[in-house]
Amino acid sequence: MGPTHGPGFIQEYTNASRKFTIFDNGVTLSVTHLSAINDATNLHRRDYNVVPQIMPNGQEGLTAFSGVFQVGVDLPF
């Protein structure tokens, strides 16, 4: 369902990108949050979907996909 057909949803955009570091000592995982980058024009996006990827050079990596939504309306462009 989306905002125009059915119960819809509510979204709140922070207009920011957040970085973090994951530490794994083999026993415990911990996360350190780094500073956020705020940009209301370029970062008005939904949450990222991140998936594993094999890069062209064979190295493992991650790819982030996102969508951009209109500023004044709770709908995609």
8 A C-beta contact, residue 32 and residue 20: yes
Mean pLDDT of 10-20: 77
Distances (CA, A) of 66 to 2, 7, 24, 76: 17, 23, 27, 11
Q: What is the pLDDT of residues 23-74, one digit of tens each?
A: 999 999 999 988 888 988 777 766 667 788 999 999 999 888 766 666 777 6
pTM greater than 0.85 (yes/no) = no
Phi (first) and psi of residue 64, to 5 degrees: -110, 130
Helix ranges restricted to H, the chain: none
- Whole-number Å distance between alpha carbons of 41 and 38: 9
The residues with which 76 forms a beta bridge, in sequence order, are: 69
